[in-house]
Amino acid sequence: MIESMRAFSQVALSSMLTVMAALPIIGFAQSDPGQTDSSDFRLFEEEVIAKGKGVEITRSDLDRRYTAFKANLAARGRDMPADKRQNIERRLLDRLIFTKLLINRATQEEKREGRKLAAKLVKQNKAKARSEKAFDQQIRSLGLTPEQFRRQLVDQAIAEKVVERKITEKLNVTDKEARQYYQEHPKLFEYPERARVSHILISTRDPGTNQPLPPAEKADKKRLAQKVLKQARSGQVDFADLVAKYSEEEATKEKGGTFTFPRGEMLPPFEAATFSMEAGEISNLVETKFGYHIIKLHKTIPSKQADFAKVAEDIKKRLRIQKTQERIPKLRKQLKQEANVKVLLSSEE
């Protein structure tokens, strides 16, 4: 729930697919020929919109990716303008082709590593969901079956491994380059003000469907939250004991409900209440779409500039990624030429 509350990751699965869709390196692609599920069964011959050596993309392949892309945007409260469809389809098709070309050049070890990473990511996202059923519902809301979701993660991971071998591993970033970047982008290395809190959540969402509870049940939850708040403020019961007994926030429950977060990351009502308190103070009931929160502030931590030594390796990773992205168009063009890829999607579509 804490992960869900963070302003930049309210839909974990949607966020993952956003990254997959946004990467210039990788998009959505079919797995290796021969890997099939029920969604791959075709009664009629389909329109091929791109083909080359080891590559064949059909209209339905692209339609599925476009549907997932739109659902992904909708999950984040954004709409897809109708006049943007052609441009988005072209970009998705280009990613489909490029991903397939990369996978065709993957070693067996890269394929094994890709499958392992995908399995890890699926496991992590299942753990964040309230149940297996809830996880499947989240996947299907994005226009995907669980198997399609898993295969897309496998494809992305494998393609990234190939890009690492062909480009990233050959790049070098010097200390001088890293320090120059650090000096030219000081705001990127500021630690914002942070707060360390303990937190009790009385959820107002159905644990199975993640939908809001009916009004009567929500009212019962509010009465319970008011009771817990009264106990917390009495000073007669340890806050951690109340967390253990009442909180429905599983991510932090075993730690007494305690965690630290930076300003600008949590939902506005939660953050506003936190930063308006003094150390040791307990909030009033704070309502968000997840339920009723009771927050105890332990301390606030002032903002500060990170030391270069502590961020140097992260800067080098960032610069290697930038250099990789700069070299992607050349690799894409080379692979498409080698495979003699022809795009058959008409400009009117």
d(CA 329, CA 321): 14
Q: Helices (H), strands (E): how many in the chain?
A: 13, 9
78 versus 174: the higher-pLDDT residue is 174
How high does pLDDT run on average in the chain?
85
272 Cβ contact partners less than 8 Å away, ≥ 6 residues apart? none
CA nearest to 221, candidates 206, 205, 202, 246: 202
Q: Taking a C-beta distance cutoff of 8 angstroms, is the pair 98, 44 a contact?
A: no
Of all helices (H) and strands (E), which one includes residue 236? none
Domain ranges of the chain: 2-172+312-343, 193-302
DSSP 8: T
pLDDT in tens, 219-237: 999 999 999 999 999 989 9
Read off the pLDDT of each residue in 155-164 and give the average, rounded to a whole number.
95
DSSP string for 131-155: SHHHHHHHHHHTT--HHHHHHHHHH
Angle at 78 between CA 74 and CA 83, to 5 degrees: 100
Rounded distance, CA 264 to CA 100, Å?
39
CATH no. of 2-172+312-343: 1.10.4030
What is the enclosing helix (H) or strand (E) of 56?
A: strand 55-58
| Amino acid letter, residue 14 | S
Looking at CATH, the fold of the domain delimited by 193-302 is given as Chitinase A; domain 3 (3.10.50)
pLDDT in tens, 46-75: 889 999 999 999 998 899 888 888 887 877
What does R_g of the chain's alpha carbons equal in angstroms? 24
Beta bridge partner(s), residue 295: 199
pLDDT at 303 over 90: yes
d(CA 233, CA 296): 10
Does 2-172+312-343 match 193-302 in CATH topology? no
pLDDT > 60? residue 261: yes
pLDDT of 278-301, one tens digit each?
A: 999 999 999 999 999 999 999 999
